[in-house]
Amino acid sequence: MKPNATNGRYLKWFNDIEKELWRLFALFGDLCARCALQTLADSESGRREGRADWCCCMIDNQVHDNWQALNANQNRFDSGWYEKLQRLELGRMPGNGPCPALGPTGCQLKKVRPITCTTQLCNKMLAVLNKLDLVKCPAHSALQIEDFLELPDILPALYGTARKPQRVSLNEVEQYLATVRELRFRFRAIPAADRQAAIDAVADQYGLKIKT
């Protein structure tokens, strides 16, 4: 197998890892929906304070930031993927957002999203994890998951963006999956009411007043 190539096996492994991360992110319940609704309300009212904490997909544009690799990888599944994206009428948002892949119910990329989207936990998510004693890390700004979990550095190679040719083994993929799964299991083992209480407390802290 040619190293550093976005071959089918590497993309399949990348997709296995992003699915495991999405299972972890699902445990944050309604946090992202509340964040998105509050961002819309704040944007419509002309509010400027706290814009750095707005919904990440509305103030960021990972599609164009990662265009070359993302387009190559998405084209493997659907050459018309970009034209099919349904655009939200959000007008101008901070940063270079909104991301064109953001649709009415969230990200429209069904697999092989940019690495940052796949591995980033925002300050609110980090605050929830810290509040529940699942991690101990700074929570004032977003981190990539490898900033607080020990994980093999394989995602750029799987995605086709590694600077140098790099072979990835199945063992490294399994190690990555197991480490994320272990955090998810500890998160899931916390009673749902306690998890929700932590999410509610962080939502209050960040002024997310709209409930879903």
Distance CA 192, CA 203 (A): 16
What is the DSSP secondary structure assignment for residue 147, as one 8-state letter? G
Residue 125 lies near ligand SF4 (rule: CB under 6 A): yes
Residue 57 lies near ligand SF4 (rule: CB under 6 A): yes
Residue 50's CB is within 10 A of a number of other CB atoms, namely: 12
Distance CA 142, CA 57 (A): 13
Nearer to ligand SF4, 109 or 157 (CB): 109
Bridge partners, residue 107, by sequence: 102
- Choose the binding region for ligand SF4 from 31-39, 42-50, 72-80, 158-166 (rule: CB under 6 A): 31-39
Q: Residue 89: name the closest of 52, 58, 128 by CA.
A: 58
**Residue 212: CB minimum distance to ligand SF4, A:** 12
**Residue 209: CB minimum distance to ligand SF4, A:** 14
Residue 35 lies near ligand SF4 (rule: CB under 6 A): yes
Site for ligand SF4 in 94-123 (CB under 6 A): 99, 101-102, 107, 109, 113-114, 117, 122
Residue 55 lies near ligand SF4 (rule: CB under 6 A): yes
- The CA–CA distances, whole Å, from 164 to 3, 102, 113, 157, 191 equal 9, 31, 21, 8, 44
Residue 56 lies near ligand SF4 (rule: CB under 6 A): yes
Which residue type, as a one-letter code, is found at position 161? T
* Interacting residue ranges for ligand SF4, rule: CB under 6 A: 31-32, 35-36, 55-57, 60, 62-63, 99, 101-102, 107, 109, 113-114, 117, 122, 124-125
